[in-house]
Amino acid sequence: MPRPHRAALTLFTALLGTTLSAAHAAQVTIPIRVTVRAVCEVSRSDGQTLALRCTQDYRPTDPRTLPELFGRLPAGEWRLNASSDAPMGGTLNVYTRVTTTSTTDATELVYY
């Protein structure tokens, strides 16, 4: 199976070759559209702390909303504590799990 970067390079070479051979006959314009999507990956994790390496300057407020982490995080609220430049590039975001106490009591009274 070809690697994605190799396939893209092969496509670019094919397009460039076509453009160069057609340069004598006519000018060819090829529109190229590049879309960059911010993503994150888990750098380290335990029950109370989560470190995500994300696209440069991307700081998601709630890591549970990230599609790439769906179902992989323990339940509960996560609070962003710190952001810094990651050593391998991107932004390192460190979250802490917020412990919530239950407000319901077993002796709760219900009035009708």
pLDDT in tens, 57-69: 999 999 999 998 8
Q: Are residues 18 and 54 in the same domain?
A: no
The label of the residue with tokens 């397009």 reads 15
pLDDT on residue 22: 47
Q: Are residues 45 and 82 in the same domain?
A: yes
pLDDT on residue 76: 84
Q: Are residues 56 and 73 in the same domain?
A: yes
pLDDT on residue 2: 47
pLDDT on residue 85: 95
Nearest to 52 by CA among 42, 60, 62: 42
Averages of pLDDT over each 10 residues, the chain, 112 residues: 55 60 72 91 90 94 90 87 93 91 57 68
Q: Are residues 18 and 57 in the same domain?
A: no
Can you tell me the distance from the alpha carbon of 74 to that of 97, in angstroms, rounded to the nearest whole number?
9
